[in-house]
Structure 1
Amino acid sequence: MRATLGAGLRRYAIAVLLMIAAWLLLIGLPQIVPWLLVAALILAALMCYVMLGALAGLNLEDRSTRYIVRAAIYFGVLIPLLYMSGVELIPLIVLPIAHKSTARLLVTEYPWILAALAAAWSGVLVFALTRLRRNWRAFQRRPHPFVQR
């Protein structure tokens, strides 16, 4: 666990710290840092889910119809969510702060966007945590991480 998951998480933590430092140096909006940390947490949970699946000996190359439909639904939700978060939400958050106007514009003018994005990202986090739990249990049932199936 320390050699695989620990090393990946350490590198990921360094990358997140560098991203936040670059954000603060180049853009300088510390109000956005909590949003970046939440996104980093969600991506860390997804990374742990995939790595624990590999350590648990689960088939990562599953090509069953069930897997393909599940992946299509997941990416069908994730891609518009990433687009809305990156292209639509970031300017709505950054522009009021950059123009020194009230940062409450997003909450008062577009509350449905925030509610929809919060619900969707919460769904992604719940999905990642449930899959992480399933892979953790599969890893615990395995007699040794490097024993063949």
Structure 2
Amino acid sequence: MSTGSRGGRGAGPSVDDGVRALLLLMPRLVGRVKRIRVPEELESLALAPRHLSLLAYLLFDGPMSVNALASQLEVAPATVSLMVSDLSRKGILERREDEADRRRTIVSISDEHRPSIDAWLAKGATAWREALAPLTSAQRKMFVDTLKAYERALGEE
């Protein structure tokens, strides 16, 4: 498999060298992430990867509305409403009316499950902080933008 690009811009690996390195690295990364154990007290709740992102936003950014979560997760509010309903029934999330606007629902992680969720997400968050801390703001943006471009390219037919 060749992308036809052996050169590249400036010093450093060619595009093909970078592709080769990432094709070897990505399965190892996915394997390590999959080995992060769900805390025992959460195992019976059948949490899916889509729940992980929602919980991460609530853990790091605090309580927010369904629409704000939908915007952050880049999905429809109806999708988030379904996830919130599911997680609320399981006691993981709490919903309350927004005092400033009774039409809005504010979602938060229940106090009972917050320590377990924090412990579950901490290893990944710590690893990302360690990897991103030495980079400049512009380099972090480029890294995140590159991962998003990779995700988009995988989704194309």
The TM-score, its normalising length taken from structure 1, stands at 0.30
Structure with the largest fraction of helix: 1
The TM-score, its normalising length taken from structure 2, stands at 0.29
Bigger RCO of structures 1 and 2 (CA < 8 A, at least 6 apart): 1
